[in-house]
Amino acid sequence: MFRVFSLLIGYFIGCISMGFIVGKITKTDLRKKGSGNLGTTNALRVLGFRAGLATFVGDILKGVIAFFICRWLFPDNNLFAGIYGGVGAVLGHDFPFYLQFKGGKGIAATIGLVISLIFVFSPILGLVTFGVGILGVVFTHYISVGSMVFSICIPLSALFLGMPTEGVALFTALAILAIWRHKENVKRLISGTENKFTLRKSV
């Protein structure tokens, strides 16, 4: 039962869309600008560095807060309660009920979940997954590529580090969801029309 409650708690925390809030503050509806996505990348490209950073940090915090609230509420199953809370935050971020279930792609909230696991499971998980994700962006200049390889690396790292099968399965599901949410990016990567990331576009 703690799994269901953790998912629900995480979902409602995840529904707090920072892209939507930042858009309201700047009087810009990100759903109608750029890629139409409420995540960090679109906020960065449409509204600039500060708006992108605010969106990024806020969405990361959703994963962290959901993890530790659920961990605190269910101390007997604290690791998996936290993971389910983090997974719920990703789902809420991707599919906020009050925005017709159209949100972001879940990467920042997933980063928040991984940051939380650094403190309660293994710092190596963060070192490997963040390192691979950053290298993906550095070498390709595509945020989408870095995001996808980061997501794929999480279940692989969790498996290697000895996380129970349930945790690996949850991270595998998140990786599949992340790739599916990036399906339009994949199409653009294949066609050669995907936007490359440069700092000049975000300042």
Q: What pLDDT, in 10s, does the model give residues 24-67?
A: 898 888 888 887 788 888 888 888 889 889 999 999 999 999 99
How much is the pLDDT for 154? 97
Query: What was the pLDDT predicted at 199?
Result: 55
Cβ(197)–Cβ(141) below 8 Å: yes
pLDDT confidence of 203, banded at 50, 70, 90?
very low
Mean pLDDT across the stretch 132-155?
Answer: 94
Q: Which among 138, 171, 132, 127 has a CA at the least distance from the CA of 150? A: 132
Q: Where are the beta strands (DSSP E) in 42-128?
A: none
Residue-range definition of the domain harbouring residue 158: 2-202
Token duo for residue 165: 């099968």
What is the average pLDDT across 4-28? 93
Read off the pLDDT of residues 81-137 as tens digits, 9 standing for 90 and up: 999 999 999 999 999 999 889 888 999 999 999 999 999 999 999 999 999 999 999
Q: pTM to 2 decimals?
A: 0.91
Distance of CA 129 to the CA centre of its chain: 13
Q: For residue 107, what pLDDT is reported?
A: 94
Percentage of the residues of the chain whose pLDDT score is greater than 90: 74
Name the domain count of the chain.
1
Using the 8-state DSSP alphabet, how is residue 195 labeled?
A: P
| Among 125, 108, 119, CA closest to 163 | 125
